[in-house]
Amino acid sequence: MGLLAVFGVLAVAGLIWLWPTGSEVSAALNKIADAPGVTYEQARIESVADGCESSVETPTGAAACLTATVTVTTGEDEGRQAAVELSGANVHNGLRAGDVIEIARVPTGDGVHYAFSGINRLPVLITLAALFTVATLLVARWRGLFALVGLVIAGWVLLGFMLPAIIVGKPGMAVALSGSTVIMFIVLYVAHGVSMRTSAALAGTLLGLAVTTTLGMLAVGAARLSGFADENEYDLAQLAPGINFQELLMVGIIIGGLGVLNDVTITQASAVWELRAAAPGWTRLQVFTAGMRIGRDHIASTIYTIVFAYAGTALTVLLLLFFTTRSPIDLFGLELFAGEGVRTFASAIGLILSVPITTGIAALTVGPGREAVEAPKHGAGAEPGAVGAPSGEAPQQHE
């Protein structure tokens, strides 16, 4: 696996070369400033009533306006009661007495004005994150713990390197490939241990990522995609004019493909190792053939996952298709849909081809007989007490 070492060195070199300095990031961040004197405070809702004092014209079918009486719980106005108007989508949040919201305190010539800013949803998110962590540790035990550690490190690479580097105008493709390669090295080796099995999965992941990247680049160019699908891109272009949005679209394709590729490749590599342990007398071709039978089932289920994941995130846009006089087929050619189509199909093709690639690499590198069940070289990702099994036996684990 000398080639993996080369990829690793190149990826680390890319991080060092492309890592943005603090001054570069500060200069590129053209932050939107609030009006002078505006602060954000927490407030508790005491009651909610229909109607508002202000008369605002709303389009037909728009939500009614509500008035929430709140008590300010932070800042210099703590304990003060005020009326806050809720309009538009905020009417549908289901706010009621006892809920805590964030309000903007706006000093004006006529006194202090309060406006609804948002809802503090962190407690719900923290609860879900805690449940996710507990479920992972209970079910996956040490493997789950190391997976969570890898996830934290991967998040640090994404938020600390990739996104700031894109903002300051570093080459998007180089940033994505360097960052993604480092993330895969970290996630796989931390979660699954340093072993030939993990290396085979990593090699399959990187080659699948190369396929996804190549197809994505060709498709983005052929479809003449600009990277501007909705108003979010236009807003970002105003704040960070140095970003190449075609490259940003490619970065999204690369990052989006990481998760499913990792899932498929590690499963295929593990399947090959278990097949060799169960049938040490098989030839490498027989192991590859049996591994591909498992891989085909995995491909079928994962394709559904990709398609339905997109349908779930784009549900509102898909519903809007029913309210247009144009044919939905024509609308799918618009950039809003075509960009997602390129992203989905490029990732799916890379995923499909990663199955035979990973299975082939694993079948060529898995050891015969007793060597087939290879214990990781360090404790990361290995269950306590896991040992190599004798020839023809499955690996045993001791509690």
Instruction: Output the DSSP codes for 158-189.
Output: IIIIIHHHHHTT--HHHHHHHHHHHHHHHHHH
Q: What is the model's pTM?
A: 0.76
Count of CB atoms situated within 10 Å of the CB of 358: 29
**Distance between alpha carbon 112 and the CA centroid of its chain, in Å?**
41
H/E element holding 263? helix 245-278
Please tell me the distance from the alpha carbon of residue 384 to that of residue 390, in angstroms, as a whole number. 18
Look at the alpha carbons of 295, 301, 307, 313 in this order and tell me if their dihedral is positive or negative. Answer: negative
Residue 41 has which token pair?
Answer: 């405070």
Any bridge partners for residue 71, and if so which?
44, 81
* CA-based nearest residue to 258, from 327, 179, 199: 179
pLDDT of residue 363: 94
Q: Annotate 94-140 with DSSP letters as a single string.
A: ---TT-EEEEEEEEETTEEEEEEEEE--HHHHHHHHHHHHHHHHHHH
* Ranges in the chain annotated CATH 2.40.50: 39-120
Structure tokens given for 47? 């009651």
Identify the bridge partners of residue 116 per DSSP, sorted by sequence position: 103
User: What gap in Å lies between CA 136 and CA 140, rounded to an integer?
Assistant: 6
58 pLDDT above the threshold of 60? no
- Structure confidence at residue 388 (pLDDT): 40
Cα distances (Å, whole numbers) of residue 302 to 69, 263, 313: 49, 9, 17
Structure tokens at 182: 């480092």
**Which CATH code is given to the segment(s) 39-120?**
2.40.50
At 289 the three-state DSSP class reads helix
pLDDT, one tens digit per residue, over 121-154 is: 888 999 999 999 999 999 999 889 998 998 999 9
Task: Give the three-state DSSP class for 248.
Answer: helix
Distance in angstroms (rounded) separating the CA atoms of residues 178 and 175? 5
State which of 52-66, 195-209, 338-352 shows the largest mean pLDDT.
195-209
pLDDT at 228: 86
Q: Where in the chain is the domain with CATH 1.20.1640?
A: 123-372
Q: Is the pLDDT of residue 381 over 60?
A: no
From the list 168, 336, 183, the residue with the least C-alpha distance to 254 is 183
The number of C-alpha atoms within 13 Å of 136 and in the hemisphere containing its C-beta is 16
Is 70 exceeded by the pLDDT of residue 217?
Answer: yes
Q: Domain 123-372, what architecture?
A: Up-down Bundle (1.20)
Average pLDDT over residues 341-368: 90
